[in-house]
């Protein structure tokens, strides 16, 4: 999708390269943006690999496969670089067991700082172009 934004900028006559550098290595990726922001991609297999970072936000895809200690480590890393007004974590997942740590944080504890949004596949609004492409 980044290329779509880049193309839109070029078509508007704006010569700005959004990504200045992309670094790939074993279990890591880092993207540097024109404004100095960095987007880090890290494996969530070991808690100690995540210590020492100062984060404005984090995202975890499928946290049902991630240990609770990883989540709490990332929460502890959100002290902010000063670049983002509202610091946050974003988790995207399918339902797990009522015994999973996600259920504890997002359903049982009922703390204002943990918010969940329940959706179904029927909530996905698909464009007419996609529906024609997929034959749905």
Give, as one character, the DSSP assignment of residue 66: S
Q: Do residue 78 and residue 96 come from a single domain?
A: yes
Q: Do residue 60 and residue 113 come from a single domain?
A: yes
Q: Write down the pLDDT at residue 135.
A: 67
Q: Report the run of H or E that residue 69 belongs to, with start and end.
A: helix 68-77
Q: Do residue 10 and residue 47 come from a single domain?
A: no
Q: Do residue 69 and residue 28 come from a single domain?
A: no
Residue for token pair 């480590």: 73
Q: Report the run of H or E that residue 4 belongs to, with start and end.
A: helix 2-11
Question: What is the per-residue pLDDT across 76-127, written as a single tens digit (0 to 9) for each?
Answer: 999 877 777 888 999 999 878 899 999 999 999 988 889 999 888 778 777 7
Q: Report the run of H or E that residue 20 belongs to, with start and end.
A: strand 19-25
Q: Do residue 124 and residue 134 come from a single domain?
A: yes
Give residue 23's pLDDT band: very low, low, confident or very high (50, 70, 90).
very high
Mean pLDDT of 68-81: 91
Give, as one character, the DSSP assignment of residue 34: T
What tokens were used for 128? 């007419």
| Domain housing 36 | 1-41
Q: Do residue 48 and residue 96 come from a single domain?
A: yes
Q: Do residue 60 and residue 37 come from a single domain?
A: no
- Global pTM value: 0.75
Q: Do residue 10 and residue 51 come from a single domain?
A: no
Q: Do residue 24 and residue 80 come from a single domain?
A: no
Q: Write down the pLDDT at residue 28.
A: 85
Inform me whether the pLDDT recorded for 43 exceeds 70. yes
Q: Do residue 73 and residue 8 come from a single domain?
A: no
Q: Do residue 71 and residue 123 come from a single domain?
A: yes
Q: How much of the chain exceeds pLDDT 70, in percent?
A: 98
């Amino acid at each position: 999708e980044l290329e779509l934004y880049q193309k839109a900028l070029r078509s508007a006559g704006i010569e700005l390269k959004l990504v200045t550098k992309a670094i790939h290595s074993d279990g890591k990726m880092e993207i540097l943006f024109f404004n100095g922001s960095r987007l880090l991609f890290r494996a969530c297999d070991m808690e100690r690999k995540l210590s020492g970072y100062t984060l404005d936000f984090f995202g975890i895809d499928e946290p049902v496969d991630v240990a609770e200690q990883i989540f709490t480590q990332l929460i502890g890393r959100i002290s902010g670089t000063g670049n983002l007004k509202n610091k946050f974590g974003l988790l995207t997942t399918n339902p797990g067991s009522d015994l999973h740590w996600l259920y504890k944080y997002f359903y049982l504890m009922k703390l204002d700082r943990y918010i969940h949004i329940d959706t179904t596949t029927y909530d996905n609004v698909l464009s007419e172009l996609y529906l024609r492409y997929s034959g749905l």
